[in-house]
């Protein structure tokens, strides 16, 4: 009996130092340190992020310029058209930088021809303006689709590496698996973030473009109605 008690006491003494070992605090790791553990797959993801941010900012500036208008400029065009001052109206349109003025100017340039020529000129110019507004938008679509898949690919590579090491060392430790896996999950997180940003930017900018196109159609129809009315109020 005494031998059994001594054996239990010895075992407890040996286990105690292991239990009292300090736990490593991983909360001190900042986000930048975590990102560095994501691996090389983060390089193309950060490149896509930079492209997405650039395109979104650049398109916002362009669309604000092309879609800028007020009630004064079209009222001035109406007055000039009603006075049959088509050339002055065209010059006034060309002095503005918004898309509506360029479309109206294209129609006024054909005012001496039939109505089909006027409508055709405005439609052609409207198509050019839409193409200008949609420039670089395909990069947002590509980023929204590719970034999450790249992030998932980085995670898959990490999992493959973990199990390859297990197969080589024949050591299965939960700490090793969890540590390596959470590092590689960073790739998926970054990929999703970049994809969501590009996706949101793509559809918000497209909504702005649709609004500008609708206004172009409205102003074009107003001009056609004025010309068909013979320039009479």
- pLDDT for 38 equals 59
Instruction: Walk along the chain (233 residues) in steps of 10 and give the mean pLDDT of each run.
Output: 48 45 47 63 90 96 88 86 89 89 92 90 93 93 94 81 73 66 79 95 95 93 85 48
Q: How high is the pLDDT of residue 186?
A: 83
> What residue ranges do the domains of the chain occupy?
37-62+70-228
pTM for this one?
Answer: 0.74
What's the half-sphere exposure (Cβ side, CA atoms, 13 Å) at 80?
19
| 187: CB partners within 8 A, 6+ apart | 38, 39, 41, 42, 45, 150, 151, 152, 153, 154, 155, 158
Residue 206, pLDDT score: 95
Q: Where does the chain have alpha helices with state H?
A: 2-19, 31-36, 42-66, 71-82, 86-94, 99-108, 115-133, 137-169, 174-228
Give residue 147's pLDDT. Answer: 94
**Per-residue pLDDT at 181:** 72
Cα separations (Å) of 129 from 7, 99, 133, 150?
88, 6, 6, 34
């Amino acid at each position: 009996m005494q031998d059994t008690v001594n054996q239990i006491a010895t075992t407890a003494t040996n286990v105690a130092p292991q239990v009292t070992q300090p736990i490593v605090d991983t909360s001190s790791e900042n986000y930048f340190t975590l990102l560095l553990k994501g691996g090389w797959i983060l390089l193309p993801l950060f490149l896509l992020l930079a492209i997405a941010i650039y395109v979104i900012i650049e398109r916002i500036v362009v669309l604000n310029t092309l879609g800028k208008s007020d009630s004064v400029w079209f009222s001035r065009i109406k007055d000039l058209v009603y006075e049959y001052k088509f050339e002055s109206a065209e010059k006034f349109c060309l002095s503005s930088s918004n898309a509506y003025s360029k479309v109206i100017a294209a129609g006024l340039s054909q005012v001496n021809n039939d109505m089909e020529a006027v409508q055709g000129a405005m439609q052609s110019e409207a198509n050019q303006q839409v193409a200008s507004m949609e420039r670089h938008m395909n990069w947002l679509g590509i980023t929204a689709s590719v970034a999450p898949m790249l992030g998932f690919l980085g995670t898959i590579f990490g999992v493959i590496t973990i199990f390859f090491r297990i197969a080589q060392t024949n050591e299965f430790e939960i700490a090793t698996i969890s540590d390596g896996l959470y590092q590689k999950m960073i790739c998926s997180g970054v990929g999703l973030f970049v994809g969501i940003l590009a996706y949101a930017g793509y559809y918000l900018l497209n909504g702005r473009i649709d609004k500008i196109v609708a206004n172009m159609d409205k102003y074009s129809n107003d001009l056609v109605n004025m010309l068909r009315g013979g320039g009479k109020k």
